[in-house]
Amino acid sequence: MKQPVIALVGRPNVGKSTLFNRLTRTRDALVADFPGLTRDRQYGVGRLGPGPYVVVDTGGLGEPDDVTYHHMQRQALRALDEADAILFLVDARVGVTPGDETLTRELRQRGKRVWLVMNKIDGVDVDVAGADFHSLGLDRPRAIAAVQGRGVRQLMDAVLGDLLGDDADTADPDAETGIETDDEDEAEDEAPDRPIDVAIIGRPNVGKSTLINRLIGEERVLVYDMPGTTRDAIRVPFERDGRAFTLIDTAGVRRRSRVSDGVEKFSVIKTLQAIESAQVVIMVLDAQQEISEQDAHLIGHTIDSGRGLVLAVNKWDGLVPENRERIRRELEVKLGFLDFTRPRFISALHGTGVGRLLEEVAHVYAAARKELSTPALNRVLEEALTAHQPPLVRGRRIKLRYAHQGGKNPPTIVIHGNQTDALPDAYRRFLINRFRQAFKLHGTPIRLELRTGE
Ligand code: GDP
Ligand code: GDP
């Protein structure tokens, strides 16, 4: 299932990043930091309302008083071309400005569904403020206060309701090729022989395409000729050792000849959609390059999304021992969670380690769905408490009494106790690590829910 793309546009200061943070519930947006892409465009996955969807904050637009305006404008407008719906934000307190009018003309030419969104309605008369925006000639504005979240959910219900309605008539591209698609059906998701959806992500030139070719070249390729627009990631079903996988290819292997350079090849939108559609994500790193902030962000985003993660450190061939040491150190220092996952050192080019990589995918998939028995959970909790007591808060020790499994995929562990709100993050991490070690839950995020009282 491809998630729709919602772009936020508007003059600087109307509240786009405030709305972005509210929709994505994060301050940690992904920013494309490759040469040639604007840095001020932010991407995230929206979960407020009937999500998920990809949100793009296009940055400031419509205030032509800056020398960089034209460059920025071109960039931002390109983001609009990738969007399924556009939220055009205006400021209820300021009223219509010339910048709003310029932007309205630009948007009208693009022929996309535009939602006029009047922000900052806290403390203003909505009818009076709204009347001002009639002159733009757009639909009646939707009123929100992004800062408090007022009206935001209703807005997203309307926007996504409209998009899903539209989508119903467009045929599923998979339908024609006879390939099984996964709808978000829970029962089907749990079927034992269902293919594991694996996204292969990473920066340009780390070796994603080489890895995919290696995987499907060696194995029986069921179908690999699906039409798709430039924006879609392609899904490649294949089997290995009797286990079915579907690779979600963000590299565009099939389109290689039509794509000129690395910058063009990388799409944050495609990557976010692939992570969202996947059960396990293979993040490919290039052992011959330094680990970048973008790499760390992609990994962080994958874990936050609750997806399983396998780290493939590629191009391991031809590395002198001291460079192997360097990359191991970097993994430790820059990513700092090697207790989370076991990196796999591979050479996609020669095929070394690739089999183990898929074993790890299957392992992570199983770990995310593992049944954790209540007695075993409580034994681990008790051992952890003995090894290291929780701290005192206002003279009283935080009590953690008992644990049980609250859910799967990702594993959720519920712990009941007293003053659990005050439990320091470091102690949470300590507990999560104990559970991870004890149940061998490598590669899957673990969620801890603390409850005070019974
Ligand atoms: P952007 O430049 O469009 O991304 O705007 P920001 O999200 O950075 O917001 C600009 C300013 O408007 C900040 O000081 C926000 O706190 C404020 N702001 C955003 N949303 C609201 C709102 O709903 N009500 C009020 N009163 N202020 C808001
Ligand atoms: P993508 O942009 O992530 O799809 O990267 P590609 O698969 O196109 O690979 C980029 C470059 O790295 C190509 O020249 C590959 O031949 C090379 N490459 C890929 N995997 C390996 C590997 O395991 N070892 C070495 N030495 N080079 C590799």
The pLDDT tens digits of the residues spanning 125-178 come to 999 999 999 999 898 899 999 999 999 999 999 999 998 875 444 434 333 333
Q: Which atom of ligand 2 is nearest to the CA of 203?
A: 3
Instruction: Provide the 8-state DSSP code for 334.
Output: I
- What integer pLDDT is reported at residue 182 of this predicted model? 38
Cβ burial 215-241 (10 Å sphere, 16+ → b, else e) = bbeeeeeeebebeeeeebbbbbbbebe
Q: How many CA atoms lie within 13 A of 430 on its CB side?
A: 15
Tell me which amino acid residue 149 is. Answer: G
What are 314's strand-pairing partners?
286
214 Cβ inside 6 Å of ligand 2: no
Residue 412 Cα to chain centre, angstroms: 19
Ligand 2 centroid to 342 CA: how many Å?
Answer: 22
Residues 118 and 37: beta-carbon distance below 8 Å: no
203 Cβ inside 6 Å of ligand 2: no
- What integer pLDDT is reported at residue 223 of this predicted model? 38
Q: Is 16 annotated as contributing to ligand binding? A: yes
Distances (CA, A) of 293 to 32, 34, 313, 331: 10, 11, 16, 12
The two three-digit tokens of residue 354, written as one number = 């690739």
Instruction: Provide the 8-state DSSP code for 8.
Output: E
Ligand 1 centroid to 77 CA: how many Å?
Answer: 22
The two three-digit tokens of residue 17, written as one number = 């990043």
- What integer pLDDT is reported at residue 312 of this predicted model? 96
Residues 430 and 390: beta-carbon distance below 8 Å: no
317 Cβ inside 6 Å of ligand 2: yes
Please work out, in degrees rounded to the nearest 5, the angle formed at the alpha carbon of residue 208 by the alpha carbons of 207 and 214: 90
209 Cβ inside 6 Å of ligand 2: yes
pTM to 2 decimal places: 0.76
267 Cβ inside 6 Å of ligand 2: no
- What integer pLDDT is reported at residue 94 of this predicted model? 94
Distance CA 328, CA 92 (A): 53
Cβ burial 378-393 (10 Å sphere, 16+ → b, else e) = eebbeebeeeeebeee
Give average pLDDT by consecutive 10-residue segment, the chain, 454 residues.
87 90 72 46 84 83 53 66 91 92 86 93 92 91 94 95 64 38 44 84 88 72 40 71 86 46 60 91 93 85 90 92 88 74 91 92 95 96 96 91 94 94 92 94 93 78
Instruction: Provide the 8-state DSSP code for 257.
Output: G
Q: Which atom of ligand 1 is nearest to the CA of 145?
A: 23
Ligand 1 centroid to 147 CA: how many Å?
Answer: 7
Closest ligand to C-alpha of residue 348 is 2
Q: Is the bond preceding 52 in cis, omega lying within 30 degrees of 0?
A: yes
- What integer pLDDT is reported at residue 26 of this predicted model? 63
Q: Which atom of ligand 1 is nearest to the CA of 89?
A: 3
Q: By three-state DSSP, how is residue 325 classified?
A: helix
Q: Is 207 annotated as contributing to ligand binding? A: yes
CB atoms within 10 A of CB 354: 19
Closest ligand to C-alpha of residue 253 is 2
